Chain A
């Protein structure tokens, strides 16, 4: 497929021989989609102004990736390993505490 090297784990499968492949091409590691760095997909990331956040948890519920988690202080923040930068959390935050910021180029 694409010849440009993409740095994700999925490329390892492109080196398996026919003898090494799992029977029926079954995937035996449960939940291994968690190793896929979907954070590489984004070009903007959410930045939270915690002084405005009232811990309503709406961003946590709205996130289509389910990658927003509670910080030790009880605020909510997106995990940038997964965050695809869709901007829904920023759109839905009732306190406008979240801003979508261009990734550094």
Chain B
């Protein structure tokens, strides 16, 4: 019987990788993910997890080692954040283009300079285009469940792509909360073994990482894109199956109290939970406000998003990252792009807030909604708004 225990989310994520029976972990520590890889190192050292733990000298090496391991057919896991995710940037593209289903937990943290160890989504946004499947979780249970799902999704023959699980640094990674760890036997039944179509094998040699002149590069990229888009269906299937097996269902876009809501808030990550509390309060005051929680970031769930917002008049998007000199919030700009061709669409107002670990409280969400409604009516000189800056 799966037990409900109080666990630090990082430790639980490490336990999820253990339940998934990973073969190789190649990692470099960085706040706030360090507890994930330390816990895995401990599990390998004391024999609880039969895997190779490769301590490397940088995140660039970590992802490079993961590439090699996954190419050989090893189920591979790593974790990083912020500067570490940036340091491995060039290798991320290689992982997805070589179609290697590495799973990586990212404890979202702000980027330097100035140095910040605290939560925001700028590290995730910097790797939007790398071709990885990307899922944002809102609590510890989701983190555990989706690390397990990530292996099943990524390794599916229809997908064969790496997966990032984004969890908020500190707010989730360092939080002790109730977690249900599935039984090993249940996970074994849920996760078929990793069986790559063309592993590196001296008996059947292949060249992995070939050179592609202009006459072929486009075709390789289009095949990659087709598989990433097709992954959405595999992800939904996996989540359905997970729900049937474990009782917890996930979907690409989740609506919370949106019935009859003229005004919708949109969030991603653990702020979604605080936002739910704010929506409850606003609803109890008679305000017709609902919440859209974006869980699947890549491949972007266009159809689900359009469906979720179709009856709203105002959509207020909170981004926890700032794309400088452009449309501001990356999520908001993608939402606007998704809604561009719709004949009927809500007025979209983008806020950027919670940067570098700045707290967003229930009261802040209420304030954001009232500001957002005003801006939707009167318009703004700016492309997007910044929330909570000291003028």
Interface residues of A (CB under 8 A from B): 1, 15-19, 24-25
Interchain pairs with CB closer than 8 A, number: 13
Contacts A17-B391, A24-B113 known; 11 new A-B pairs at CB < 8 A:
A1-B357, A15-B390, A16-B390, A17-B390, A18-B389, A18-B390, A18-B391, A19-B391, A24-B114, A25-B113, A25-B114
Residue of B nearest to A3 (CB): B359
B390 / chain A contacts, CB cutoff of 8 Å: 15-18
How many whole Å from A44's CB to the nearest CB in chain B? Answer: 29
Residue of A nearest to B118 (CB): A1
Complex alpha-carbon distance, A34 and B113, angstroms: 24
Residues 347-391 of B contacting A (Cβ, < 8 Å)? 357, 389-391
A19 / chain B contacts, CB cutoff of 8 Å: 391
Q: Type the 1/0 row for B279-312, where 1 means its CB is closer than 8 Å to any CB of A.
A: 0000000000000000000000000000000000
Residue of B nearest to A20 (CB): B390
Complex alpha-carbon distance, A18 and B388, angstroms: 11
Residue of B nearest to A25 (CB): B114
How many whole Å from B118's CB to the nearest CB in chain A? Answer: 9
Complex alpha-carbon distance, A58 and B114, angstroms: 38
Complex alpha-carbon distance, A19 and B114, angstroms: 16
Can you pick out 13 interface pairs between chain A and chain B where the beta carbons lie within 8 Å of each other? Answer: A1-B357, A15-B390, A16-B390, A17-B390, A17-B391, A18-B389, A18-B390, A18-B391, A19-B391, A24-B113, A24-B114, A25-B113, A25-B114
Complex alpha-carbon distance, A71 and B58, angstroms: 48
Complex alpha-carbon distance, A1 and B389, angstroms: 15
How many whole Å from B150's CB to the nearest CB in chain A? Answer: 33
Chain B interface bracket (under 10, 10 to 19, 20 to 34, 35 or more): under 10
A17 / chain B contacts, CB cutoff of 8 Å: 390-391
Residues 106-154 of B contacting A (Cβ, < 8 Å)? 113-114
Residue of B nearest to A16 (CB): B390
How many whole Å from B214's CB to the nearest CB in chain A? Answer: 41
Complex alpha-carbon distance, A103 and B389, angstroms: 40
Residue of A nearest to B358 (CB): A1
B357 / chain A contacts, CB cutoff of 8 Å: 1
A16 / chain B contacts, CB cutoff of 8 Å: 390
B114 / chain A contacts, CB cutoff of 8 Å: 24-25
Which of B114, B389, B390 has the most CB atoms of chain A within a 10 A radius of its CB?
Answer: B390
How many whole Å from A1's CB to the nearest CB in chain B? Answer: 8
Complex alpha-carbon distance, A101 and B5, angstroms: 42
Complex alpha-carbon distance, A25 and B391, angstroms: 16
Residue of B nearest to A27 (CB): B114
Residue of A nearest to B391 (CB): A17
Residue of A nearest to B390 (CB): A17
How many whole Å from B364's CB to the nearest CB in chain A? Answer: 15
What 7 A-B pairs are tightest by C-beta distance, nearest first? A25-B114, A17-B390, A17-B391, A18-B389, A18-B390, A24-B113, A16-B390
Complex alpha-carbon distance, A17 and B357, angstroms: 17
Residue of B nearest to A15 (CB): B390
Complex alpha-carbon distance, A25 and B113, angstroms: 8
A18 / chain B contacts, CB cutoff of 8 Å: 389-391
